[in-house]
Amino acid sequence: MIPEFISIRRDIHMHPEIGRKEFRTTKLIIDKLKNFGVDEIITPMETGAVALIYGAEKDSACVALRTDIDALPVEEDTGLPYSSTIPKMMHACGHDMHAAMMLGVVKYLCNNRDKFRGTVKVIFQPSEDTLPGGAKELVEKGVMENPHVDAILGMHLIPDEEQVGVVQFHSGPLTTSVDLFDITVRGKGGHGSTPHLTKDPILAACQMVTLLQQISARYVDPLETVIFPVCSIHSGDAPNVIPDEARFSGIARSYVPAIRKQVTDQVFAIAKGVEELSGTKVEINHYEGYPACYNDPRLTESTMKAVAEALGEERTEKADLPYSFSEDFSYYTEMTDTPGVFMMVKAGHIGKLMPLHNAGCAMDEGAMIYGICAMITAAVDFLNKRASHQI
């Protein structure tokens, strides 16, 4: 099967589409699902698709498998013969490989229905990398019901200096939540020679930027993680004119919901204090992004054991630490209180190692077979154990 799905991956890679615009990709996926013989295809959103595959004992448990299909607004710089044909658009996060791998899982399951008991619900999700993401909307539209999902599994490839096809597991928080803050400080501009007649928004903004860094240093337990860089700041046009406003933006990440709330509360408290001291007005546009992704400990342990038995102990490992990026897979578990496991697969690299979302990111297609096998194993293991009351 592998050459077939490498070919599909390269097709998707050459024709990347941004979140909620994955029309060609969706058509390709639906055509393959029909060809492979899934039992039902549902399209809750304009792009993406959900497929049902029935094994033995259709009315037994249901496991959901989720993959993402969208690309990024990045100009590709890999030099690969199957590079993106769309200017300023690239699959720089492996979603092309994810989609092709999941199609491989679908084909296998459709051809081996006698090997599992229950239902597999396969979610080809649009817009993971483009906020607000597709997961939340799919959950709101009922993707975790009809049939009811008892557990959900996901997977992401990651570039690695050496290893290809090692499946990584981490129990508990795996990725951070994400909160975006766009902040505007409105003051009173004037001549630089008479600052006492102004309400300087630049000074107030700079004070606030500094104070925001004290959240992790002084307001949060040092054993907890808070990441909060201010990544942009804009104000003024002339060296001798104090402007009327200053704007800056930052992004906060954490692993624990209570810490996430604490950080947000502190941002608004700091803004209020800066307003009182500076005489300016601070306006905050807070965009609540993805929650932290949480792996159910019991399900993680069971899944890792099954994958290790299938691929060999050398092909699985426990991650020492969680990851600091964010993933909207978290909505499926948080919004429905469904146990889930999100696996990471080390995928080597072609040429110099580059991170995800980089124009030169080119992971090794040799990792795909291990991702496909791990997902098949995890799904079948859960359903059969659930049917025999082992989990």
Give the whole-angstrom CA distance, residue 77 versus residue 303.
37
Which two tokens mark 293? 């992704």
Those residues with Cβ within 8 angstroms of residue 7's Cβ, 6 or more apart along the chain or in another chain: none
Within 8 A by CB and 6+ apart from 123, the residues are: 48, 50, 64, 65, 66, 67, 138, 143
Cβ atoms of 309 and 122 within 8 Å: the answer is no
CA distance 144 to 343: 20
Size of the chain in residues: 391
Residue 119: how many CA atoms within 13 Å on its side-chain side? 21
The helix/strand/coil state of 90 is strand
Catalytic residues: 290, 365
The two tokens of residue 321 are: 């630490």
Amino acid at 36: F
DSSP reduced 3-state for 369? helix
Taking the C-alpha atoms of residue 29 and residue 321, their distance in angstroms, rounded to an integer, is: 34
The separation between the first and the last C-alpha atoms of the chain, rounded to the nearest angstrom, is: 31
Q: How far is CA 358 from CA 293, 317, 354, 367, in A?
A: 23, 26, 6, 19
